[in-house]
Structure 1
């Protein structure tokens, strides 16, 4: 594999071949500043929102509140699920307010815009957007993708469903970058497994009445209705599908961007049997349970995979700042890609395209009788190792790789 050198990055910095920091190097600022940019008040606020800010602060506190004697500060803003709002905030933070790294940034259209601003500004971005394009055609040498993406969580769910008889599909899809990327990836896996897609009904983000879109799906007679949306849109889709008797009529619902808070909001009667795949679940192992219970003490809610990944990403970033003794993006990037990732009981890694690798688990939502109480919602039914869970490096179109 031949790697194209990035402008402004030495060979040693890019590959982490030399980790020796000059003896005179030290963090160049009086404060390391991290911006948490996400949906604070809209349909995705429960997935990240203020909870991501709490997770970020936990990461800082767990490292003593300072790196090599320099305090770390969190600021936050609401991007309102609008690329122009997120872009304007990112530019102001980088150009005026001295932010060293931006973290979180769900909603793929916003994430793609902010990642590009970070690339041009030579600043670190720690992305939670789900579009696999973040590490594909839009990849950046200064960015890493921490949350399961459209490739990883569509692969296990789609192929498993087709294998078990769900051959024909119809999509109810959010009409923006995330939905389009997910449609592309899910369709490829369905086709590869021997199934087919009959059509799609695309809706704007934050649509309260999804009846017309669901009725299109119902009338298609597809065996499976794939819900290619998230947040309030996903919740409304499942609620209204139940009202129309879609599940009772024999059509199966499959959600792809399903979060723990969605299942909590809907209840097990509406969601039991639903298949989903995640890299983080609060009850997956002792390490995840211990951290999640600490998070619960602060929020009275178990963390979503987005909030957990914010914690993991900021912890890894700050350890790299400590090792480099600098906030310089080239030095920090080299340290981040060299060091193993501590991902809640799993040892992960970061590829040259910025993709963070860790195992993905296929879960099924429990029935009420199987659950022991609030937040005990998932049972593991399969596992995909890190080297198979995410898109192969040479298939993404990232121009850092040839």
Structure 2
């Protein structure tokens, strides 16, 4: 196992403050320990990574000032390097040796599926705001696993369905070759065919790919009306930049990025990204609450606003801690049950609730990237063009293959 540095960001309560906790509070190790398992330096580090650690600490600070006053809370972090074996080994050590109660972020679908399997065996709680695979709330669902922000269905339902309904019927996919990409391609393809379109084919590329020329030329040669990018993070940024160089994305062949983050728009710049439409669960400039949260975040992560992954880390960490406080224990079974009952109320989520399959449903939004002349201040990148209600944004519960639903 590769050596990992676990950075403690814990906040210990004083003896006097402990009196504020409920008399019946029971913590196995005297407090609560949360682990941020993320991509710290790879292709997904901009949407998660160090920013997710900051977001989790912000949630801890907020809960300590309110419901969690007097509680001892410790935060640690690790880099899974986008490798399922490293992610699983880290999670196993956290659960068996380090007494971690809950894990957040878990960006990368392969890592999240490995961790989901582990928590079903070992216990603990996992809250996924970074991965996209719908397997987490279908066949691989768990009573102690919660999929927080988005998934491949929510992205496909908004993006692929909308474009197909506009008459762009023929699609070709450029897909990252692992669980996330396969799931996004399938869900988007299903939306295309359900709305009368046709999938002409697909080509797959490795994760963290730098040269998309051969993949783009193959997609261009398909003569499809839409080239769908079933990837994320730096892969999406690289593909969009190189597509522009090849002249792809004009009137004859549209480029559709199915999973885009605010950090990607920032990396692309408005001249390149302008006009791009995509689905997102959080935008920092949506209202006074999101702006206040983003201002605090940027003070700690200089020159950055939170992505929906980092916002999801904040929301999930805060809801978990509130549920611990309400339960009076860190017992994962009792806390999981409380999480499902307690309302989700924070600056991130709107109309949110947790379904039996572990899917957190909430409103999703369709945004369009502004032209450079439309942007009035730093990070003023998006304009909202639509809202998809929580009940419509995610896979219908009736179609879930989760045993918790059928049972």
TM bracket (short chain)? over 0.9
Cα distance change on mapping 1:249 and 1:386 into 2, 3 Å: closer
Matches within 5 A, 1:3-402: 24-64=24-64, 67=68, 69-128=70-129, 129-248=131-250, 250-300=252-302, 301-343=304-346, 344=348, 346-402=350-406
Moved more, 65-74 or 384-393: 65-74
Give the superposition deviation at 1:269. Answer: 1.3
Unaligned runs of 5+ in 2: 1-21
Q: Helix, strand or coil: the match of 1:88? A: helix
1:149-190: CA deviations, max 9, x gaps? 100111011111112221111100000000111111101111
Q: Which residue of 1 aligns with 2:4?
A: none
Q: Deviations over 1:59-82 (max 9, x none)?
A: 111112793633101100000000
**Contact 1:285–1:345 (Cα < 8 Å) also in 2:** no
Q: CA deviation at 1:210?
A: 1.1
Q: Indicate the SS of the match to 2:37.
A: strand
Unmatched 5+ stretches in structure 1: 1-21
Tell me the matched-pair count: 381
Offset at residue 268 of structure 1 (A): 1.1
Work out whether residues 124 and 142 of structure 1, in 8 Å CA contact, stay in contact via their aligned partners in 2.
Answer: yes
Structure 1 runs of 4+ off > 6 angstroms?
none
Deviation of 1:322 after TM superposition, in Å, equals 0.3
CA offset digits 1:137-158 (Å, max 9, x no partner): 1100001001211001110111
Tell which deviates more after alignment, 223-232 or 337-346.
Answer: 337-346
Name the CA distance, whole Å, in 1 between partners of 2:294 and 2:72. Answer: 25
1:287-306 residue CA offsets vs partner (Å, 9 max, x unmatched): 11111111111112100000
- C-alpha distance in structure 1 between counterparts of 2:380 and 2:117, whole Å: 39
| Distance across 1 between alignment mates of 2:167 and 2:286 | 28
Q: Is the 8 A contact 2:351 2:390 kept in 1?
A: no
What TM-score comes out, normalization by structure 2 length?
Answer: 0.91
